[in-house]
């Protein structure tokens, strides 16, 4: 494999491992939430909200970039790519490969962002359920 492919796949592997670790952390957080009281969950929710607020612009930029990249990808005509291959237009093919790698990396970054948003949404849902249960007189260890 070329060095460019090696570098890309290595970076992608690292990023996917980060997604996997984030998923494990989210799963652990959700499982332990049932054992916590509402104040503890609210504290975690406040932390998650603060983290998301700090990263909001970055996440919005990933979403916008991914949308633009997707539209560019959709606009790419396969017949042009076939011509580039036949004519050995290396610069165009390299540029296309770089755009595809960037699209893949942006997709993974957005997956990480979505994991953080999922955690915040889950904690909010648990807090809301605890509020509803408390109002209904079903508050046991959660209040």
Residue 140 per-residue DSSP state: S
pLDDT value of residue 94: 92
Domain extent listing, the chain: 3-135
Distance CA 37, CA 25 (A): 19
* Per-residue pLDDT tens over the stretch 66-97: 999 888 887 777 788 888 999 998 999 999 88
Distance CA 116, CA 63 (A): 14
Model confidence pTM above 0.75: no
pLDDT value of residue 119: 84
The residue-averaged pLDDT of 87-109 equals 90
What Rg do the C-alpha atoms of the chain give, in angstroms? 22
């Amino acid at each position: 494999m070329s060095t460019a492919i090696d570098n890309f796949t290595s970076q992608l592997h690292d990023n996917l491992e980060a997604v996997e670790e984030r998923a494990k952390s989210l799963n652990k957080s959700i499982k332990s939430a049932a054992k916590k009281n509402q104040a503890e969950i609210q504290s975690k929710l406040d932390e998650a909200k603060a983290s998301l607020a700090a990263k909001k612009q970055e996440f919005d930029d990933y979403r916008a970039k991914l949308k633009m990249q997707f539209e560019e990808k959709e606009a790419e005509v396969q017949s042009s790519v076939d011509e580039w291959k036949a004519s050995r237009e290396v610069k165009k093919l390299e540029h296309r490969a770089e755009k595809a790698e960037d699209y893949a990396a942006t997709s993974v970054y957005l997956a990480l962002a979505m994991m953080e948003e999922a955690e915040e949404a889950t904690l909010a849902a648990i807090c809301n359920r605890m509020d509803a249960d408390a109002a209904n007189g079903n508050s046991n260890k959660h209040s």
